[in-house]
Each structure stands twice: as structure tokens, then as C-alpha cells.
Amino acid sequence: MNPRSFETYEGQSRLGPLQQPSGPGPPSMASSLPNQSLLLSHSTQDDNQGGWDFTFSPALDSKYECPICLMCLRDPWQTGCGHRFCKSCIQRSLREAGPRCPVDNAPLTEQTMFPDQFAKREIMSLLALCPFKDKGCKEKIELRLMLTHEENCSFRMISCPHLCGKEVRRLSFEEHVRVLCPKIPVGCEQCGKQIAKDMLEVSK
């Protein structure tokens, strides 16, 4: 049997032989693995859902909480009556509930609000736990760096490209794809076709 591996080609995965090195030494593992960025699970944050939904440490001060979504203010806007809201939350409120402040019912339009840059700077310096803490990550990260950390966290879950149905931690991705996955495509010596490793073992 000749093991086969996934190679990345123009953003898509295709089957191909393991690349051979041009000089001495073993072939590069990274060269035969699929592009992990194409397989990452979705971000824990949705750009259309108001505030930042992270676990803050220390706990979030109430002055940084949006009165509408009850999460940490994201792109905070301040009203003339002194209240702060996530930009997306207050814009949605104006569309759906009319030109009134949701807190004190004072008249309100977008023209009478302004981006609160001072509050935003303070908020982006707050520390929060990694969203993959339940997978083993112990990091505390400034909010301004959180999305970058989330994309690159070793404990982020990645879908297996061999369609075994599993999600594995980025930390274990290479081992799963190269060794552990039962659906690794392998070449059959008898028919020359590629079939899943577990099916080949059954047919022996």
C-alpha cells in the first residue's frame, strides 16, 4: 500500500502523493497537509450580534455593559443623555423601536450620538479568557488581541479534511490527519484506487 496525502491547490484540497524532498532528510509534514485556515470552526463572535461575549477577568465592570444586549460594549456610542450602547445595538433599536433612548426614553437620533473613543480604548485593554478555555487554553488576552489569538489558538477546533466527522484541536491536527484518522485515503495495491484506511483494513 502506498499512503496518499492531501495537498493544497488554489485553496482546494486534492489527493496526491507525498512530496519528496530535494535533498537529504524526511519530507516536510506541513507541505502535505491541507490549509488549516479553510477548515477552522467559525469564530465565537458574530459581527451582527452586538457586544463582545467573552469571560472577562476580572469580571466586567457594569459601566462597560451595553443596556440592550447586556454584553461588553462593542464600538461604543454615547447618547446626548449620557448612555452608552454598542453601535449595532443602538442602530437596531432606532430602526425597530423608534428615535428614543432605550434607557430613559429621551428623544434620540444618530446625529445626536457620537463614537466614544475613550471608552473604546479602555474596553480594548480589558483582559478576557480565551474562548477555548474549555478545550484547555489557559491564556488571558487583551480584548484588542483576542481575535488574533482566537484564530491561532492551539486549542481551536479544526474539522478533519478526511470527512471522518471529527473536530480536533489545532494542537493535534497534524497527528490526526497523518496518523490517527480512520478515513485517511490510501492506495489499494490490488485495484490501484484510493479508499479510506478503515475500509481497506476491513477488505483485507
Strands of the sheet containing 76-78, edge to edge, are: 84-86, 76-78, 114-115
Query: pLDDT value at position 18?
Result: 32
> Of 119, 48, 51, nearest to 82 (Cα)?
119
Alpha-carbon distance of 17 to 6, in angstroms, equals 8
What integer best gives the mean pLDDT of the chain? 76
C-alpha grid cell, residue 149? 489569538
Q: Model confidence over 135-171: pLDDT tens digits?
A: 889 999 999 999 899 888 888 878 887 778 777 777 7
The domains located in the chain, with CATH, are 62-155 (3.30.40.10), 156-203 (3.30.40.10)
Segment holding 88, helix H or strand E: helix 87-97
- pLDDT of 58 > 50? The answer is yes
Cis before 58? omega within 30: yes
> Of 180, 157, 179, 183, nearest to 168 (Cα)?
157
Q: Model confidence over 10-50: pLDDT tens digits?
A: 333 322 333 333 433 333 333 344 444 444 444 555 556 79
Q: Which residues lie across from 56 on neighbouring strands?
A: 128
Length of the chain: 204
Instruction: Please state the pTM of the whole predicted model.
Output: 0.61
Q: 95-110: buried (b, 16+ CB within 10 Å) or exposed (e) per residue?
A: eeeeeebbeeeeebee
The three-class DSSP label of residue 200 is helix
Query: pLDDT value at position 125?
Result: 97
